[in-house]
Structure 1
Amino acid sequence: MVLTTTNSIEGFRILEYQGIVTGISYGSSYSYNGTKMSFKDMFSTKKYYEAYSLGLASLKEEAFQKLKKNAKALNANAIVGIKIDIETVSNSAVLVVSVTGTAVYVATDK
């Protein structure tokens, strides 16, 4: 499946617009693959940012997988115009990642 932030795909022609699709993921920014950050590590800036980065990457990947699954359900083979939104839930360590795009059916120009 072709994924792009642009509204067209070079070398492909959009034949059908299937609809808008979204993938949403949420979870703690301090955990990655089920491993939580220790209380001691929370005071290490390097480990804090490392855990935050890995946690965010995991949430983004999960959101993209859900996006692709929703597009396949509409018989799409590409998603254009992808936008990513990352929000924090106030007063907590929870992040919400939302990925939205337009599911399309494309064919090569050749």
Structure 2
Amino acid sequence: MLVLTTPNIEGKKIVQYFGLVTGESLLGANVYKDLFSGVRDVVGGRTSTYELEIKKARDLALGSMNEKADSRGANAVIGVRIKYHNLGGTMGNTIMVTVTGTAVKYEE
């Protein structure tokens, strides 16, 4: 599945639009507890373990979006946006990753 942040595919003709597709993933509060209660893996001021968890959550959200696009017959998703939301409140320090885009079919 071709995934782009641009609204078109340079050099390709989009032949069909399937509409909005989304994907979501939650990164639970236990990640924070695990990261900050024991030994930290900090390199240059960055917590690499936390970055890996964020990447996993993003990949899950993108995978979910791609599955939805594929099920509609799309071979690309354009105009993709990735957002991170701190749910806080009753959800603790849960972070939700959301991805949105437009599923399309282009001539290969």
Q: Which residues of structure 1 form unaligned runs of 5+?
A: none
Q: Which amino acid aligns with 1:46?
A: V
Residue 16 of structure 2 corresponds to residue 16 of structure 1: yes
Q: Return structure 1 stretches of 4+ with deviation > 4 angstroms.
A: none
2:18 and 2:103 in contact (8 A); partners too: yes
Query: For residues 9 and 29 of structure 1, what CA distance do their matches in structure 2 show?
Result: 38
Query: What does 1:61-80 correspond to in 2, within 5 Å?
Result: 61-80=59-78
Closer, same or farther in 2 for the Cα pair 1:30/1:10, shift >3 Å? farther
Q: Which amino acid aligns with 2:9?
A: I
Query: For residues 51 and 97 of structure 2, what CA distance do their matches in structure 1 show?
Result: 13
TM, length-normalised to structure 1: 0.82
Q: Which amino acid aligns with 1:27?
A: L
Q: Which residues of structure 2 form unaligned runs of 5+?
A: none
2:35 and 2:50 in contact (8 A); partners too: no
Percent of matched pairs sharing the same residue: 28
Query: For residues 93 and 106 of structure 2, what CA distance do their matches in structure 1 show?
Result: 40
Q: Which has the higher helix share?
A: 2
Q: How many residue pairs are counted as aligned between the two chains?
A: 102
TM, length-normalised to structure 2: 0.83
Q: Which has the higher strand share?
A: 1
